Structures are given as C-alpha cells and as structure tokens.
C-alpha cells in the first residue's frame, strides 16, 4: 500500500513538472517582466509612429484624457504602462501636436511620470491646483482644437465622466473652453488601429487560441457519455489561467445533434447554454477568446465526435461547413476602405442570398478590446443595419472578428443546423487577410 502511494506521488510530481515544461515550451508566452517590457515597447511605438498621424487626420492638435483611479477612461487605460494597473489619483494626460514643427508633446498633469513615455509636467508645490496648472499648460500652447473623450454612440470613446467634464469647464477661461470638441474619431482610431509590431504579436496570440481549441476538442479532453459541455468550458478557462493568460469572456460550448430541433437565434444568442453530456455523433461548437499584452482574440469553431463506425466527419456536415466558409469569403471580399459597415453588410447578405445561403452576419472590431471600437458589420438581431456604429467607415490597419453563421438543411438529420464561425481578420492596405488562417474543415474527435 505504501509502495502504491509513493508511486502515485512520484507520478503526480513528474506529471506536474512535465506539464509546466510543456506550458513554457509549447508557446512563446513571456514571463511577467519580459511581458511588461514588450507592452511598454509596443506603447512607445504607438505614441511615436502612430499618434501624430492620427491627430493630423482627425484635425485635433491637443488631446486631453482625464481619469480618476479605478474609474478609467477606456482610451486612457490603453495608454498606461505595464507598471500602472490603474490611474493614480486624478491622472490627466495632454498630447499636443505641432504639425509645422513635426513634434508631439506628451505631458502628464499629475504627480508622477506615467512610465517612461509621458513625463510629469505639474509642480504641485508651485501650483497646488491641478486644474489651474492644466489651464496654464493649454494657454501656453494655444491649440486650435482641444479634443476630449465624449461620444453618444461609441462607449469606448465616451470616457470623460461628468464630474471631470464639469471641473474642466469651470476652470478653463472662455477662450479655451470654446475650443473643446469631441475626440470621438481620434479615440476610435487610436483603439482600432493595429501597428506592424502589434500584428506580429496578434498572429501569435491567435495561433495560441487555435491550439487551445484543438486541445479542448480532442479525445484527451472529451469522453463521450461522460464529458459535459461545462467540463470543456472549464478546461478552457483553466488552460488559459495555467498559461498565464486571461479570458475576456466566459467561453461557451454547445451541441447540435440528430433529432433535436435547431434553437432560434433569440434562444441561442440571448440565453445561457444548457449543460449537456457530449455523445458520439454530436456536432460541437465553441466560442472562446483570450487576452495577452493588451490584445484580445475571439474565435468560434466546430468539431464532430466520430461514431464507432466512422473514420471521418460525414460528408453532409463537410458540405454544410463549406457554406460557412463561402459566407466568410463573400463578406471579406466586400470589405473595402471607406465603405461603411452597413454597406458591407447589405452587399454581403444580398450576394449570399442570391447564392442560396441563409446568412446572418454580426462582425465586430477586435483588438484592444474584445468588442472594440470601429465599424460594426451587423448584429445578430440587427440584420438590416446598425445605426451609427454601422455608419462608421472601414479604416486601414484594423482588425475584426469575422463573426457570422449560415443555416443549412440537413436531410440526413431531417432538420436545420447552424454553422457558426468566427475568426480574427486584418484589413491592411485595402487587402483582407486572416490573422492566423481560418478553420476550413470540421475537427474530427476520434474516441475509444
């Protein structure tokens, strides 16, 4: 008995150590210190090589970002260095762009430097009132337009809270207060634009997302008749945590199978997923995304649990999946610079229906946030267009979760199924590409 216990303990220790090695070697996930250095490097690159261009394009020569600790503006939060997990006290950042001199000042009206990229420009001992110090800083530079983050229709560009807005207005003289304008377009552009350095990291992150899904949809995790959909969900959550990553939303696993009626869109999208025991012959679907160094992924893929007499996914399911890929092609070929999300949606749905598909498209920006800022190409319950967010034009160097589904009638099952796909895509110089390929075949799960 003692010998058995020792053997088990040795095995557990060996397995645990091996698992740690695999975690480190399988993916190029950085340790915390190196991760922080990378985050700050990417941020400095954005400040130096991207922000001046965005400010010129938006015709805003001064941008104010104001936040208090634990109530951060979503834009300001993306500008904090790795060692700042939150704003401190009241944090005010001033960007001043002098296009003629080709300079961009980055100043903090705060007690501290904000990392190495933004220097403190407030001497509290000399001027105790933070707002007065800000007003003086603005007066010295005399900008034409002062952008502040308020927006009726884009929440991520609406980060200036009422209290700070009121304080700002009260402390600016009339000649400066009259220059305040919405920085909506600038804020959206900052959040939605991906740099070359970020895209390199993004490709790795999407690859990791795909690999984790492959592991979840395997015989190593799924035992038909035993494993539940919730078991797979929590495997995904634990895997992400073990790798030192984060999930930005709770993943889902759902099942479509013979003799069970397809759920309506309302039931599928607005209600929680029921826990089910996975069986042989099930068509599985996942929705899963992770966060790493300020970027987010969002992915939906399918797998099929082979029956005892099957060596591959049934042809009728393969044919159905091709229709999902075809809908992706129709959508991505319609994505052109300057087109609005609503235009792309309308054109894509029209072509898909002409080809005999039963489509639904709900593609959203992806990057700094999971549901990020930029143009929205449909929502599952807004297939006739999305007001305001869908009217925003498609920009270059932006990323999207190409999210959609098509309903397919399966004669063999005497029912409809829904092929639901989502993959990270990048729209570069008027050319679309998948960040790290896309699923083109249903994953077969061969079990014992």
Query: Of 84, 94, 76, nearest to 160 (Cα)?
Result: 76
Residue range 348-356: mean pLDDT, rounded? 98
d(C-alpha 327, C-alpha 252), whole Å? 23
Report H helices in 217-291: 229-242, 265-270
Least confident interval from 19-28, 182-191, 278-287: 19-28
Nearest to 376 by CA among 154, 191, 50, 189: 154
Write the CB contacts of 352 (distance below 8 Å, at least 6 apart in sequence): 326, 327, 330, 359, 406
Q: What's the token pair of residue 51?
A: 């922000």
Q: Round the average pLDDT of the chain to a whole number and report it.
A: 91
- pLDDT (tens digit, 9 = 90+) per residue, 176-214? 999 999 999 999 999 999 999 999 999 999 999 999 999
What percent of the chain has pLDDT above 90? 83
Beta strands 398-410 and 415-427, pairing class? antiparallel
**pLDDT tier at 269 (50, 70, 90 boundaries)?**
low
**d(C-alpha 186, C-alpha 189), whole Å:** 5
- 435, 210 in Cβ contact below 8 A? no
Is there a contact between 377 and 341 (Cβ–Cβ < 8 Å)?
Answer: yes
In tens, the pLDDT along 133-168 reads: 999 999 999 999 999 999 999 999 999 999 999 999
Q: What CA–CA distance (Å, rounded) separates 271 from 299?
A: 19
- Beta strands 146-148; 180-182: pairing state: parallel
């Amino acid at each position: 008995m003692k010998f058995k216990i020792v053997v088990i303990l040795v095995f557990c220790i060996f397995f645990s150590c091996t698992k740690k090695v695999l975690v480190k070697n399988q993916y190029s996930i950085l340790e915390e210190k190196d991760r922080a250095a990378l985050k700050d490097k990417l941020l400095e690159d954005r400040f130096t090589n991207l922000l001046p261009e965005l400010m010129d394009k938006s015709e805003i020569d001064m941008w104010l970002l104001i936040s208090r600790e634990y109530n951060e503006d979503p834009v300001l939060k993306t500008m904090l260095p790795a060692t700042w997990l939150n704003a401190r006290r009241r944090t005010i950042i001033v960007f001043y762009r002098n296009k003629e001199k080709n300079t961009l000042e980055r100043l903090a009206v705060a007690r501290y430097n904000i990392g190495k990229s933004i220097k403190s420009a407030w001497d509290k001992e000399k001027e105790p009132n933070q707002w007065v110090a800000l007003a003086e800083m603005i007066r010295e530079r005399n900008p034409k337009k002062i952008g502040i983050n308020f927006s009726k229709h884009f929440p991520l560009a609406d980060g200036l809270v009422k209290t700070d807005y009121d304080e700002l207005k009260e402390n600016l003289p009339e000649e400066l207060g009259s220059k305040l304008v919405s920085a909506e377009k600038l804020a959206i552009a900052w959040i939605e634009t991906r740099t070359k350095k970020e895209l390199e990291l993004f490709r790795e992150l999407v690859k990791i997302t795909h690999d984790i899904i492959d592991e979840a949809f395997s015989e190593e995790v799924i035992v038909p008749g035993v494993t539940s959909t919730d078991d797979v969900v929590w495997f995904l959550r634990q895997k992400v945590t073990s790798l030192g990553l984060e999930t930005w939303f709770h993943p889902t696993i759902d099942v479509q199978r013979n003799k069970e009626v397809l759920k309506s869109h309302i039931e599928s999208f607005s209600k929680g997923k029921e826990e089910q025991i996975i069986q042989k012959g099930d068509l599985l679907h996942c929705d899963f995304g992770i966060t790493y160094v300020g970027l987010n992924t969002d992915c939906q893929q399918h797998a099929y649990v082979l029956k005892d007499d099957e060596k591959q996914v049934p042809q009728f399911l393969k044919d159905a999946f091709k229709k999902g890929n075809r809908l992706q092609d129709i959508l991505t070929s319609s994505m052109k610079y300057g087109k609005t999300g609503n235009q792309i949606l309308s054109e894509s749905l029209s072509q898909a229906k002409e080809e005999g598909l039963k489509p639904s498209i709900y593609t959203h920006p992806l990057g700094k946030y999971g549901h990020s800022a930029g143009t929205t190409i449909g929502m599952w319950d807004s297939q006739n267009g999305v007001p305001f967010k869908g009217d925003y034009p498609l920009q270059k160097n932006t990323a999207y979760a190409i999210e959609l589904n098509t309903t397919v009638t399966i004669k063999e099952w005497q029912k409809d199924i829904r092929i639901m796909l989502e993959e990270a895509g990048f729209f570069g110089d008027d050319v679309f590409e998948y960040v790290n390929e896309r699923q083109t075949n249903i994953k077969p799960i061969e079990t014992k």
